[in-house]
Each structure stands twice: as C-alpha cells, then as structure tokens.
Amino acid sequence: MGVSHEADDIFPMCKFRLAVIGKGGVGKTVIAAMVGRHLREKGQKVLLVDADPAMGLVYMFGVDPIKTIGSYRDKLLKNHKVRQELESATVKDILVRETLIHLDGRASILVMGKDESNGCFCGINDLLKYGIGCIAKDYDVMVIDCEAGLEQVKRRVLHSVNILLVISDMTARSMKTARQLADIIAQGNADIVLPEKAGLVINRYKEEGGILRQIKKKTGLDLVATVPEDKNIFEIDTTGGTIADLPPDAPSYAAIIGMLERLLVPKSQMIDYGP
C-alpha cells in the first residue's frame, strides 16, 4: 500500500494543534488535561494525544489504556495476518477500531504507548503516521501531551504545531530544561519545524518578587501564563482522581482558561470560546 501524506509528521491534518512539553514532574500532563477539558466543555471536538510513554493523560480522563499505537505496531510486526488486513481496509478505519478510545461524542484519545520492538521499521511507522493524520482531520482541535524532555522536539514529532507550551515550575532545573527547549525551537534549521507560537507556562507558581522579570532571560521564552499552586490538583494527584473532579472555580483551571482566551490565534484557525 502506498502512503502519501502532506507533511513529515504524525499530526498533519487537524485544524488546530496545541502541544505541551517540559521536564518530567513539572505538571505538564495536568495542564494538557485542563486544556482538553476546557475545549471540550466549549463544544470543540477534541482529539487528545497521550504521547508520553508514562501514559499519564489517559489516566487523567479516567480511562485505562487498553489500546495503544505501540501495541498495535507490535501486532503489525509480529502477525502476518494483521499486516494483510491493511491490503483490504483503510489504515484510518483499522486505527479507529484498534487504537482510538472514545470518551464521548466530542472527545477521543490516542495513546502512543511504549515501543516494545527493536530495529528500524520505517514503512510501518509511515503507515501509522498517515493513519493518525487521517483520524486527526475529523477533529477541531488536538491537545498533545508530549514525552518529558527534548526528544520529541528533536524527532520532529511536533511538526506544524500551532502552539507549543513549554511547562516549567519555579525550580532552576526545570527552567534550564525550558531554556534548552527554547534553544531548539529558535534554531529553525532543516531538522526542526517551528511552531506558530511558543511560550512558557509556570506551573505551581508562588508569588516571589522579581522572578517574572527574569523569565525571558532565564528561558528565552515569552511568559503566557502562571498557574498557581492549587490544593485541588494536589488532591487529585493523591487520591487518583480525574480532571473531571477538578472544581470549575479551581484557581489553576481559571488560569488555564484565561491563558487560552488570551493566546493570539490566526482568525482562520480561531477557536470559538463562546460568549
């Protein structure tokens, strides 16, 4: 089967793509979950993508990752009959059946999962990228929770993302990771595709004099939001709750809603946040 796709990336066709990335432990998954929840509540058809092998985003929505892209890829590699099916059915239809988890009529989640196989399987990877891209174009917006660290940016997984949110807390180490990500983004060489907009979100923010004035110098990124430390998030983390358990008036959620309403998006890709 020949594969033709518009761009060398996993998610080329969704109308609007927002990704979160940052050092492990800074809270990027809960921020991705809050973004996804808000857009879903505002009537957008949302595709959530849990691209972190730790698979935290899927649990934030109260779902067990019984279907993942990684597990289906392994089935393709190991089972000839599974590969034969690709000759008589579309890649999109198979991936919808085998990998897409529907949360409700307006939201679904794709879990990338862990890659258990060794070696280079470029043809199969291209099929999966093409199929996922075809799924994505059925949605208004995609929210991608990236793997912790720098690798997915380096591997061009985030090609053609509209907004890339770099998440940091107030620690020096997470700020250093944010700076490394900013440097990669700023290079703009042939191996890196720039997002339309990239900015910094400081999570678990506690007011401290002068720190915000140093953000641009420390990280090389414009600050787009501060998300306050929130006992509601702590309770979800400690009890194993989901993002649905977060009160609508939670300070952290209010900060995320405000951020989304402030972000400048081209009119052709504008999300309707309602009245």
Q: Which amino acid is at 97?
A: R
CA 125 to CA 29: how far, in whole Å?
A: 25
Nearest to 178 by CA among 167, 188, 189: 167
Contacts of 262 (CB under 8 A, 6+ apart): 224, 225
CATH of the domain at 144: 3.40.50.300
Q: Is the pLDDT of residue 171 over 80?
A: yes
pLDDT band of residue 47 (cuts 50, 70, 90) is: very high
Range of the domain at 68: 16-263
Using alpha carbons, list the distances in angstroms from residue 93 to 77, 102, 219, 271. Answer: 19, 14, 42, 27
Whether 2 maps to a domain, the answer reads no
CA distances from 221 to 30, 119, 122, 172 (A): 21, 36, 34, 15
274 within domain boundaries = no
Q: Is the pLDDT of residue 190 over 50?
A: no
pLDDT of residue 144 exceeding 60, the answer is yes
The pTM (predicted TM-score) of the whole model is 0.85
**Residue 254 confidence (pLDDT):** 97
Q: Residue 161 and residue 61: Cα distance in Å, rounded? A: 23
Q: Is residue 64 part of a domain?
A: yes
In a domain, 187, yes or no: yes
Residue 186 lies in a domain: yes
Amino acid identity of residue 157, one-letter, is: V
Task: Give me the sign of the Cα torsion angle 156, 214, 266, 109.
Answer: positive
Query: What residues contact 143, with CB distance under 8 A and at least 6 apart?
Result: 18, 19, 20, 32, 35, 36, 39, 46, 47, 48, 49
Number of domains in the chain: 1
Residue 7: inside a domain: no
* Residue carrying the six token digits 């991936």: 95
265 Cβ contact partners less than 8 Å away, ≥ 6 residues apart = 16, 162, 163, 271
Kindly report which listed range (91-105, 113-127, 142-156) carries the lowest average pLDDT score: 113-127
Inside any domain, residue 158: yes
Q: Residue 243 and residue 30: Cα distance in Å, rounded?
A: 8
Residue 8: inside a domain? no
Tens of pLDDT, residue by residue over 4-38, are: 334 444 455 577 889 898 888 999 999 999 999 99
